[in-house]
Amino acid sequence: MNESYLHFLWKSKRFDSRNLKLVCGRTINILNVGWHNPDAGPDFFNGTVDIDGIKWTGNIEIHIRSSDWYAHQHQKDDAYNNVILHVVYEYNKPVYIKEKEVPTLVLKHQIDPEHLLNYQQFFSLKKEKPCAEFLSKCHSSLSDQIRLAFFHRIERKGLALVHDASVQKRNANDTLLLSLAKAFGGRLNRKPMAQLATGLTMKTIWKEKWSDERMNALFLGKAGFLENSKSDYSKRLFPYWKMLKRKYEFSEMNVSSWKYKGVRPSSFPTRRVAEFAQIAKQLYPEMASLNTNKELKAKWKNLLTIELDDFWVENYSLDIPSKRKNSAGLSRMMKHKLFINAIAPFLIYRKHVFAEYHNDELIVDLLSEIAPEENKVTKQWKQLGVPVENAVDSQGLLELNNEFCIFRKCLSCQVGKALLDR
């Protein structure tokens, strides 16, 4: 028995709630189980119960044994002073708040024995994914969970943009720039790329985008790449950077912020910054408010079709020539990553800031047409017989693995719930 199972039972009211009585003998009727609190403090906020005809509203705490109240030192924490009900699996000690005994409900004999047995058998499995051998019987639940996990993932990314935009007081156009920057940075250079975008604004970019050399100098110079580079290309751009630096009172980023170790040459930060500059040059004010599938696909398809200077065809970085010729534009995979990691989160940002609630459907439509990612996690799911047909599937399965399976949050997963009720 563990508390997470008791939380699940309480939250879903998955126990016999008829003719309930407290330890003291009083009758209790559960009107509202409350709001589950995953953080510090009582387990459920603002629950409502009826005890012998009197309504009580307040917090509810759950333990395996009633003595756990003292083992967890709740008697020393004022956050527990308004607990109206103590729910336990076993009662072995009365609990007092300010010398008044807390009403206690014992669930041990109210739980469905078959459900408890399923839970014990399921969680005794030591496999990375306890549900692996049962997935073929849970197609509907798995499909629902993948979709839920997908939205959990993009909501998290979109709400991070909402937070950044609020803290940095960024308008929609500058938030779009930030979202693109994070996607261009990937896992290792996400932070420095975001720092680069934070130091620029679309207003500045629109003023300088008439000249390719000024745009390249603006981005590569602000990133700190031009200061010590010896290449002829850098020497050509450097005077433009000096002028722009003085004009806008800019300062360079610390070049040591950028990571090369573990990054493929085609994704070196210097090239990514050059690509980012070309994308930013093509942004225009209306891009921040495109809100139909047709508009997005047409405009972003054109936007993501860029052509870098010939220099980048022959070089990985400003001072590192490539061993073979590189593409002058974005790869198909990179375009897909921008849709997944930049455009989708930005649409979530707009949903929350501008009440564009139709964006959820728009995101599903867009990402359903994008090929799924190929990585270790998606390969594991495929080996278990789970179809991965598009980016909605792969993003949902990544989130399911990283946020549910790894932490064994099976009781919060539709598949886990279905298997317990089998």
Q: What is the pLDDT along the chain (422 residues), one digit of tens a residue?
A: 889 999 999 999 999 999 999 999 999 999 999 999 988 899 999 999 999 999 999 999 999 999 999 999 999 999 999 999 999 999 999 999 988 999 999 999 999 999 998 888 877 777 778 888 888 888 889 999 999 999 999 999 999 999 999 999 999 999 999 999 999 999 999 999 999 999 999 999 999 989 999 999 999 999 999 988 999 999 999 999 999 999 999 999 999 999 999 999 889 999 999 999 999 988 876 666 655 556 666 676 677 778 888 899 999 899 888 888 888 888 888 989 999 999 999 999 999 999 988 889 889 988 998 999 989 999 999 999 999 999 999 999 999 999 999 888 888 899 988 888 87
Q: Which tokens sit at 256? A: 């040591």
Same structural domain, 243 and 335: yes
Q: Which tokens sit at 135? A: 């997935």
Parallel, antiparallel or unpaired: strands 315-317 and 320-321:
antiparallel
Residue 397: domain span: 132-149+373-420
Same structural domain, 329 and 224: yes
What integer pLDDT is reported at residue 273 of this predicted model?
96
Same structural domain, 143 and 268: no
- In-domain check, residue 180: yes
- In-domain check, residue 411: yes
Domain's final residue, options 368, 384, 399: 368
- In-domain check, residue 412: yes
Same structural domain, 203 and 331: yes
Same structural domain, 239 and 303: yes
Same structural domain, 378 and 345: no
- In-domain check, residue 176: yes
pTM for the whole structure: 0.81
Same structural domain, 88 and 197: no
What integer pLDDT is reported at residue 366 of this predicted model?
87
- In-domain check, residue 123: no
What integer pLDDT is reported at residue 158 of this predicted model?
96
Same structural domain, 322 and 197: yes
- In-domain check, residue 44: yes
Q: 127, 406 in Cβ contact below 8 A? A: no
What integer pLDDT is reported at residue 394 of this predicted model?
96
What integer pLDDT is reported at residue 307 of this predicted model?
85
What integer pLDDT is reported at residue 293 of this predicted model?
59
Same structural domain, 143 and 204: no
Same structural domain, 82 and 144: no
Same structural domain, 350 and 416: no
What integer pLDDT is reported at residue 365 of this predicted model?
87
What integer pLDDT is reported at residue 288 of this predicted model?
61
Same structural domain, 357 and 402: no
